[in-house]
């Protein structure tokens, strides 16, 4: 097993990895830029190193990170998610430096990061893909001709895209012409590539993803599926495991397809295979070659520590589980508590947290890097914590989610928590009937009122008085 590991990330995922290292007897090394000088991952790691004044540059410089890992005596690097986690060059530089990269091989990252190459690999493996372009599209005229063949609506996507960026739905030829240059521009700025492709738009499907684990000797297992249909503008808000909407036959099928997909490309470590499900139709969408934000709910229903398994696999050990060992129990829901104002078009609400109280009790988990007095910087993602609840039944999990959201106290910034309570109370959600059209289809849920208890009002008045007095 590794003796020392550098975490090439920040925030809650860095804290999550620090905790796994502590349990496994691995020394952890954090990195930070100036806005993160007082961040929790810096406080929790065994040691931390400054990588620059610029908020982002230090987290995005693969050679500097690898050099630091070698200087500090690390034998492995965990990239977390985001930043360099799906950067094939970073994985290759780690390998060249003799450091274990906690993730798949660089060639697999490159292949699955190229959406057209990934679609081709899935077709060859017998995994169903949505109708669309066989490769990258060169001109708008070519895109228009293909759209006429497969039928509108279509999705125009950046080949190297991810995270909901570089994607446009086009319902008409006019919309496709307008979107063409915008997607190319977004793709170039965000991913450094102008390549785009097209696929048929599956209207308001279920967004289903399957967590897989694979070791270096060809063993591949899945940890069942997560339902990520509650999303806004292709950004996930609430995730559920397992999906309350799949039949046992569908669950077995998507699990089998995910394992087949991973095996076909020689995958190693943790990964996620994403599908669109509409009725009895199942289509491969993409593969994420890293740990996912929502890995927590797969852990909750199976009892498997995914980050621990990542480290074991990267160290060359076989999977600790066989497929027949994996069972799912109950339901788990993850809420991405974002520092955003849902009532103001989800405008980011960065600032100082004046009070934070984490909910607890049976079946409640919080993964976060915030604390009372912490200032959420405006340079990074707006997610400030993940609230995870588990229950033996769907109804119990929903009720526990409402209770935990209500228990939580996060003051100083606006968050998405009150909005999530409205979603959990909606009859369609409670009955398990929802798809990717749920959020845009229910704008009335934004008409909630935030209830303040007397203590919160008193604190707000005291803060206002102190500010006025210059204290």
What lies within 8 Å, CB to CB, of 36 at 6+ separation is: 10, 42, 377
CA distances to 16, 31, 141, 154 from 79, in Å: 12, 11, 40, 33
CA distances to 81, 157, 308, 378 from 163, in Å: 11, 12, 25, 18
Q: Quick one: which of 202, 284, 124, 326 has its CA closest to 272?
A: 284
**Annotated catalytic residue: which of 16, 226, 290, 365?**
290
Residues in the chain: 471
Mapping DSSP to helix (H, G, I), strand (E, B) and coil, where does residue 344 land?
helix
Query: Is 290 designated active site?
Result: yes
**Residue 317 carries which DSSP code?**
P
User: Could you give the angle at the alpha carbon of 406 between the alpha carbons of 402 and 410, nearest 5°?
Assistant: 135
Q: Which residues pair with 348 in a beta bridge?
A: 340
CA torsion angle 338 344 345 351 (round to 10)? -30
Rg (CA), the chain: 22
Q: How far apart are CA 118 and CA 99, in angstroms?
A: 27
CB 433 within 8 A of CB 240: no
Report the catalytic residues: 290
């Amino acid at each position: 097993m590794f003796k020392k590991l550098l975490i090439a990330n920040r925030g809650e995922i860095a804290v999550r990895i620090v905790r796994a290292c502590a349990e496994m007897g691995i020394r952890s090394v954090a990195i930070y830029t100036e806005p993160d000088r007082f961040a929790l991952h810096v406080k929790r790691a065994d040691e931390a190193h400054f990588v620059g004044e610029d908020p982002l540059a230090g987290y995005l410089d693969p050679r500097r990170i690898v050099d630091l890992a070698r200087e500090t005596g690390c034998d492995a690097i965990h990239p977390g998610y985001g930043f360099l986690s799906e950067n094939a060059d970073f994985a290759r530089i780690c390998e060249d430096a003799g450091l274990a990269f906690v993730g798949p091989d660089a060639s697999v990252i490159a292949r699955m990061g190229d959406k057209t190459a990934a679609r081709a690999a899935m077709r060859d493996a017998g995994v169903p893909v949505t109708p669309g372009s066989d490769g990258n599209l060169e001109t708008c005229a070519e895109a228009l001709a293909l759209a006429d063949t497969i039928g509108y609506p279509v999705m125009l996507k950046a080949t190297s895209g991810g995270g909901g960026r570089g994607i446009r739905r086009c319902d008409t030829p006019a919309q496709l012409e307008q979107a063409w240059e915008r997607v190319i521009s977004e793709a170039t700025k965000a991913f450094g590539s102008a390549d785009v492709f097209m696929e048929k738009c599956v209207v308001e499907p279920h967004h289903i993803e399957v967590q897989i684990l694979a070791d270096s000797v060809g063993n591949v297992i899945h940890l069942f599926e997560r339902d990520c249909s509650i999303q806004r503008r292709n950004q996930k808000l609430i995730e559920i495991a397992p999906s309350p909407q799949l039949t046992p036959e569908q669950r077995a099928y998507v699990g089998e397809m995910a394992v087949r997909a991973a095996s076909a490309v020689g995958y190693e470590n943790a990964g996620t295979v994403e599908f669109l499900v509409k009725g009895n139709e199942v289509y491969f969408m993409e593969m994420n070659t890293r740990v996912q934000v929502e890995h927590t709910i797969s852990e909750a229903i199976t009892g498997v520590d995914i980050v621990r398994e990542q480290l074991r696999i990267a160290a060359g050990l076989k999977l600790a589980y066989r497929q027949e060992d994996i069972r799912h129990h109950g339901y788990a829901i993850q809420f991405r508590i974002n520092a955003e104002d849902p009532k103001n078009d989800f405008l980011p609400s960065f600032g100082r947290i004046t009070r934070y109280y984490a909910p607890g009790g049976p079946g409640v988990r919080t993964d976060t890097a915030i604390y009372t007095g912490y200032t959420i910087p405006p340079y990074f993602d707006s997610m400030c914590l993940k609230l995870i609840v588990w229950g033996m039944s769907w109804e119990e999990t929903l009720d526990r989610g409402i209770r935990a959201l209500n228990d939580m106290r996060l003051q100083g910034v606006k968050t998405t928590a009150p909005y999530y309570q409205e979603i959990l109370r909606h009859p369609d959600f409670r009955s398990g009937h929802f798809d990717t059209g749920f959020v845009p289809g229910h704008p009335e849920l934004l008409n909630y009122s935030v209830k303040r208890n007397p203590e919160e009002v008193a604190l707000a008045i005291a803060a206002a008085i102190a500010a006025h007095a210059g204290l």
